Structure 1
Amino acid sequence: MDTDHRAGQPGSDRDDLRHQVLDLVAPLISRFSPGRGRLRLGVSTAHYDKESAELEAFARPLWGLAPLAAGGGAFDHWELWRDGLAAGTDPEHPDYWGAAFDRSQRLVETAALGLTLALAPEQIWDPLTGRQRDTVAAWLRHSVTVEPNENNWLFFPVMVGLGLDRVGVSHDHDANRARLDRLEEFDLGRGWYTDGPKWQRDYYIPFAMHYYGLIYAALGDDPARAERFRERAAAFAQDFQHWFTSEGVAVPFGRSLTYRFAQSAFWGALAFAGVEALPWEVIKGHLLRNLRWWARQPIRDASGLLTIGYGYPQPHMAEQYNAPGSPYWAMKAFLPLALPAEHPFWTAKEADAPPLPEVSTQPEAGVALLRCEEGRHVVLLSAGQHAPWARHGAAKYAKFAYSTRFGFSVPAGTLKLEQGAFDSTLALSEDGEHWRPCEQPHDVSASDGVLYSRWTPWDDVEIETWLVARPPWHVRVHRIRNGRALRTAEGGFAIDRDQPPTRVDTGPGRVRLDSPNGMCVIEDLHGRREGELVVALPGTNVFAPRTTIPTLMGDLPPGEHLLVCAVIGLEGRGSASVGSDEWPEPPAWDSIESMLNPAPTP
């Protein structure tokens, strides 16, 4: 076990990942309720009840423990989860979880229980008494009859069905076939799904829609459907590899970021279903590099528990459905532990990330990904996503750029610029106090490294935005038609301010900041705005607790206006890409204008 409570340092074989599962689970052992049906990890502020939160903490470690057992890995505490399953499903036991009901959190956690029955019945089912099996079966069979949300949740009863089939318990197969049919209606082509009838195309596509589909492909009884799931996953892998740097860092984007290394679970699910979408050594590298990167991050508390947050404990960015056990969804990354040692995924030698094009435009998600600094830095440009129902939804989906080096920021208020933390977006204000960023873009298009969207922060204000990929730069073009006078603030990347900058240059049309923690330059290509440094409130950025945001400020009288700026983020001073005394030169407006058809004019 790691004494510093970090995840184990996985290498190229199964033993390292096995160690990581055991290390993550070890701090949980002492936190079971007396009846073992609940795991109590702290106070929950999620929207669901305490019983659901404690079931969540109980169930989610099974995403790692079940594959561990299926692959022959030893674990000394299966009796805790076995006894807890019996207690939690028994209406006469004090630890009873309560029955699942339509769209309830209990239904979410049934998926891990179903997978455990399917992969490790010898540990979780076979030792139960006859009465215990009856109560477990009754509770799970009931969960198959309730209605899930119409999105990736439709897979939860399917996962339960796989488990019940493995242990010989009958259930309604027709209902699950109908759910699978509905899930396939969310297919967008080229391997992309939408997560239900909404616009969101985020990590729920790889770690939910594809992940469950690949499990079904491996364990289900419908060969034609299984082949469709495999084909879509193989196609999706071609795009998804662009979301990771050559060092395994994934782009932080969208909701549920507290699930952390679940973002690489897709790569292990490919192996589980036997889908060699890329060479096995490449697939293996994508998974292991991401796990190694996460092992170096301060994401666990002093007792070893995973915390709510992303790059560090940060409850402020959590979702309304994040309880103390929620981060253990990350254990989905350990699915390939179910495979035997002789599987080609395990026998392959981990390969470096392959060379990829500098720009990957992915219209199904409304994004373009820039591969910068020889693949060490990835920037995702986003034009089409929005999730107004999600906590900080505008910041998580509708900013212009998301970076593997600089992350993005969530607001701590909208009264002052430092509260809004408006990195990588354009914010507008009538009074210089209350600010509105881009929240819900419309009329989205994405082609050849150029993204377009339209948004209306007020009824009499319409903004058309073009984002142009010019690695390592990106250029933002805004045509604004405003019926009221406005203040504007457009932020570059947020820079960690814990180390003082080595160079700063602010003035008309520019902000340039260089520090050991990174460089950001934002230049107004029309020279109409003033550069300022905004010191954001602490705890707003997903990577750095304290940041400074280079920002262009300007005033707009009523009328029609064109704002154009170029933004770059790089390693700090002394990097190989930039000389120590020179600032990088932005692309010229003329070269950008030719990429826009038609080109906007002031």
Structure 2
Amino acid sequence: MSAIPLPPEDRVLSPYTGWTRAHWEAAADALLAAVEPHAGPGHALINLPGPRPSWSGHRSDGLEGYARTFLLAALRVAGAGGADPHGLLERYAAGLTAGTRRPTTERDLADGDPYGWPVITDRGQAMVEAASVALGLRLTRRWLWDRLDDGERERAAAWLAEALRRTPVANNWWLFPLTVGGFLAEVGIETGAARAAIDRGLAAVEPWYRGGGWYTDGRPRAFDHYNGWAFHLYPLLHAHLAGDRDTTDRLGRRLAEHLDGSGRLFGADGAPIHQGRSLTYRFAAAAPLWAGTLTGHTPLAPGTTRRLASGALRYFLDRGAAGPDGLLGLGWFGPHAPGVQPYSGPASPYWASKGFLGLLLPPDHPVWTAREEPGPSERADALVALPGPGWLIQSTAADGIVRLHNHGSDDQPADETIADDPLYARLAHSTATGPAFDAPPDNHFGLVVGDEVSERGRITPLGTGEGWAASSHRPRLGGTELPGTTVTSVVLAAGAEEVHAHLVTGAAPGTAVRQAGWAVAGEQAGTGGDDLRAAATATGADGLPLAAVLQRVHGFGAATATPLPGGTAFGPAAAVPVLTGRTDGPAALFVAASRLTRGPAPAPFRAVHVTTERTPDGSLVRVCWPDGTEHEARLGPGTAEVTVRREG
């Protein structure tokens, strides 16, 4: 349960979560009260306890603490029409004045000045935080900025304006100068440079739009939650606040498309899909839901929007995301160091403040007054293809789990080779599981050489469709592609069932292969199964049992289940089912059936009939499902063609 004091639940208005606007306000107040004891002199730097990046310093981390919590304070006060019974804006105004009095390039307090913020430099962290400061000032302009004296405004504007002239990292960072420019243009300061920054930001991210509401984050195929809490949020919110109707409508249509798919990435328990970097931002995943309603561009009903957003906030607070001291730590539930990015510091989790965007909607808005409606994953089993990122979304209403089959997102840069990131490279991610970081990879098919399992590296999407997604990759060991070897993969799904097929071409006969399934985790985990199938079980953080099963169908020779002593973000104990086999020629096919379910024991597979046959250039896999639907996948080296047939 949450350590944050909250009002009584309202199960009439909110039958799914019990939460109302009052719960959001109480959560915001508690999160802000918890950080207050960590504010330094003048409130300019808020240094929270916890591990720090090696490159950062007291000033950078303190500015991050100020900026990200200021954004939450701004949403809270602006959403209340300027009402500020806790004196939030007085403290943050004092911090703004103190922090911009004498910006410094020093990383510590050696010069004896306990106030100054770091100057904004090329690709420096202060540029990121300037965006939160600027957005907070824009939202609270009447109650904070307009009440400063001329000198205070001049110094604050001079600090912010550096963001207009500096070079960002070539990814979503282009949106930070845009956000600063939006505020400065509104208050009539350096308007030419401000408008130029807005135009540059919009132009920089435009080539990364892949259609269907999805952007890649700078790298060729980096799809993740940054779509919602960065690419759609910043430019659309700027256009909305600026009254730019044309840009609002253009970007709003993209957001509506995005929400049509991403709205399906929340489980019935409120969990967002566990995929991509910066997951410590947690309920920031709710930001695009609110943005769609705020700007009038959403396919979701008001009651569904609130159900998804409240579900996400409650999911984390109920599971200890805010510790006994009320602070958000680096992790998913509680601390989880393996999943934390190198750039994250003690205050980084407070980008979760974006999840409170809904407070800008007045209390009498339908999003707050409508009765909660079920989320998409609760209504019926669904299979939804997202061609932009190369994903297949599979959800089951009986247990509320959402699964993301990944055949398109790898986060690999265009001009160098980096190791697979478990948060991108897995074949599948879900709302109930996370990857292991200290063991052979879960949800992965690889070739085995010695003790090493090959990586996917760059993924080449081969298409998505009704109940299927496919891709190919050149397997890598130690960063080097195996010569002449290609793995072509397809997932075929129905209900909770998955069939994974992999065609390995170009590998020497007798090469060992390994297929792993879902890594389930909790306070305890177990293994089981027989020679045909492997099973892993665990009791989740919510006390409900999880089961993962992997069954050999073709090509594999053995089934086992392996404990994962390091656990995952979902618990300290974990286990994963594994199949192994060996190639039998220059084109070897491996087929497995898999499932992830909530239940007291691994559920048996339904009557799924799978047949395979060799073709002149590869293999054919035919799957007949109990309802009469048939998938036929024709796989060749780096090619996949899938046909779907239905009875009648």
Partner of 1:568: 595
Residue 398 of structure 2 aligns to a residue whose secondary structure is helix
Change (3 A) 1:559 1:45: farther
Measure the CA separation in 1 of the matches of 2:37 and 2:445. Answer: 48
Residue 589 of structure 1 aligns to a residue whose secondary structure is strand
Measure the CA separation in 1 of the matches of 2:151 and 2:204. Answer: 35
Residue 242 of structure 1 aligns to a residue whose secondary structure is coil
* 1:495 correspondence with 2:520: yes
Partner amino acid, structure 1, of 2:515:
E
Partner of 2:45: 38
Deviations 1:245-301 (A, max 9, x none): 233222111111111111111111122223343222222222112212122112233
For the 8 Å contact 1:515–1:573, the answer to whether it is kept is no
For the 8 Å contact 2:525–2:537, the answer to whether it is kept is no
Partner of 1:263: 285
Measure the CA separation in 2 of the matches of 1:58 and 1:374. Answer: 43
From 123, 133, 136, give the equivalent of 1:113.
133
How far did residue 123 of structure 1 move?
Answer: 4.1
Partner of 2:66: 58
Partner of 2:12: none
From 609, 623, 632, give the equivalent of 1:592.
623
Partner of 2:452: 434
For structure 1, which segment, 478-487 or 277-286, has the greater mean C-alpha deviation from structure 2 after superposition?
Answer: 478-487
Q: Counterparts in 2 of 1:297-376, with a 5 A limit?
A: 297-354=319-376, 355=379, 358-374=382-398, 376=400
For structure 1, which segment, 36-45 or 587-596, has the greater mean C-alpha deviation from structure 2 after superposition?
Answer: 587-596
Change (3 A) 1:514 1:117: closer
Question: Structure 1: which 5+ residue stretches go unaligned?
Answer: 413-418
Question: Structure 2: which 5+ residue stretches go unaligned?
Answer: 10-16, 104-112, 476-481, 540-544, 612-621, 625-629, 638-648
Change (3 A) 1:159 1:241: same
* 1:510 correspondence with 2:510: no
Partner of 2:468: 450
Partner of 1:395: 422
* 1:146 correspondence with 2:154: no
Q: Counterparts in 2 of 1:167-566, with a 5 A limit?
A: 167-171=187-191, 172=193, 173-196=195-218, 198-354=220-376, 355=379, 358-374=382-398, 376-388=400-412, 393-405=420-432, 407-412=433-438, 419-420=439-440, 422-431=441-450, 433-457=451-475, 458-481=482-505, 482-483=507-508, 485-496=510-521, 498-499=523-524, 501=526, 504-507=528-531, 509-514=532-537, 517-526=545-554, 528-539=556-567, 541-556=568-583, 559-566=586-593
Deviations 1:467-515 (A, max 9, x none): 11222111111111213753322111112363465x83221x3113455
Partner amino acid, structure 1, of 2:518:
F
Measure the CA separation in 1 of the matches of 2:380 and 2:393. Answer: 11
Measure the CA separation in 2 of the matches of 1:340 and 1:514. Answer: 45
Partner amino acid, structure 2, of 1:554:
G
Residue 303 of structure 2 aligns to a residue whose secondary structure is helix
Deviations 1:100-127 (A, max 9, x none): 1122211111111111111112443234
For the 8 Å contact 1:493–1:569, the answer to whether it is kept is yes
Deviations 1:204-225 (A, max 9, x none): 1111111113312321243211
Measure the CA separation in 1 of the matches of 2:224 and 2:534. Answer: 31
Partner of 2:619: none
Measure the CA separation in 1 of the matches of 2:461 and 2:371. Answer: 45
Change (3 A) 1:316 1:595: same
Measure the CA separation in 1 of the matches of 2:464 and 2:499. Answer: 15
Measure the CA separation in 2 of the matches of 1:585 and 1:14. Answer: 43
Change (3 A) 1:498 1:375: closer
For the 8 Å contact 1:394–1:438, the answer to whether it is kept is no
Change (3 A) 1:392 1:33: farther
Residue 530 of structure 2 aligns to a residue whose secondary structure is strand
Cα RMSD of the aligned pairs, angstroms, is 2.6
Measure the CA separation in 2 of the matches of 1:272 and 1:133. Answer: 29
Change (3 A) 1:349 1:5: closer
Q: Counterparts in 2 of 1:86-97, with a 5 A limit?
A: 86-91=97-102, 94-97=114-117
Measure the CA separation in 2 of the matches of 1:197 and 1:513. Answer: 35
How far did residue 596 of structure 1 move?
Answer: 3.7
Residue 459 of structure 1 aligns to a residue whose secondary structure is coil
Measure the CA separation in 2 of the matches of 1:265 and 1:398. Answer: 25
Change (3 A) 1:197 1:514: closer
Residue 265 of structure 1 aligns to a residue whose secondary structure is helix
For the 8 Å contact 1:384–1:442, the answer to whether it is kept is yes
Residue 41 of structure 2 aligns to a residue whose secondary structure is coil
From 7, 29, 36, give the equivalent of 2:36.
29
Change (3 A) 1:392 1:67: farther
Give the number of equivalent residue pairs. 582
For the 8 Å contact 1:384–1:398, the answer to whether it is kept is no
Partner of 1:416: none
For structure 1, which segment, 293-302 or 321-330, has the greater mean C-alpha deviation from structure 2 after superposition?
Answer: 293-302
Measure the CA separation in 1 of the matches of 2:215 and 2:152. Answer: 39
Deviations 1:125-167 (A, max 9, x none): 2343332211101111121121223332222122212322444
What's the TM-score, normalizing by structure 2?
0.84
Deviations 1:517-555 (A, max 9, x none): 21221111126321112111314x121221011111223
For the 8 Å contact 2:535–2:561, the answer to whether it is kept is no
Residue 493 of structure 2 aligns to a residue whose secondary structure is strand
What's the TM-score, normalizing by structure 1?
0.90
How far did residue 187 of structure 1 move?
Answer: 2.8
Measure the CA separation in 2 of the matches of 1:180 and 1:498. Answer: 46
Deviations 1:542-594 (A, max 9, x none): 2122101111122346633111001001112279xx5xxxx234622134286
How far did residue 30 of structure 1 move?
Answer: 0.8
